[in-house]
Amino acid sequence: MEQYLQHYVNYTQNNWSELLPVAQFAYNATPQKGIKMSLFETNYGYALRTLLSPKQAKKSSKVGKERAEKLIVLHKELCESAKMVQKRMKMYYNKKKSEGPDLKEGDKVWLLHKNFKS
């Protein structure tokens, strides 16, 4: 979460506690590549539908609408950031991952004795 929030906190870093619930929400609502669903969906069994829209509030103040709009923008930015982090993690993982030799039945290989226990 620290890396997630560092892009959005102000210069004095005193507003991170206000952003934490939105960051957590965005992270839990973002589909994870490994499990092919969001963390929310894995916990509760259904996909989270976000209805963040200032139009839905019939009686709301101007400040409330502005805050809702800021939260919508922040949520979109955090979702994009999560997708970028997933791509970056995939790239670094794939750099270190090797396919291994193409072995067929009957090929001769060297084995190290230290890997076997008798």
Ordered by start, the domain boundaries in the chain are 2-115
Residue 55 vs residue 90, higher pLDDT: 90
**Residue 62: its pLDDT value, please?**
73
Cα dihedral sign, 94-3-24-71: negative
Helix (H) or strand (E) holding 37: strand 37-38
The mean pLDDT of 78-85, rounded to a whole number, is 86
Residues 6+ apart with CB under 8 A from 32: 38, 39, 86
Residues 6+ apart with CB under 8 A from 25: 75
Q: How far apart are CA 78 and CA 7, in angstroms?
A: 9
Helix (H) or strand (E) holding 105: none
The mean pLDDT of 93-98, rounded to a whole number, is 82
**Residue 106: its pLDDT value, please?**
92
Q: What is the pLDDT of residues 43-64, one digit of tens each?
A: 777 777 766 555 555 555 677 7
pLDDT at 16 over 60: yes
pTM for this predicted structure:
0.39
pLDDT at 30 over 60: yes
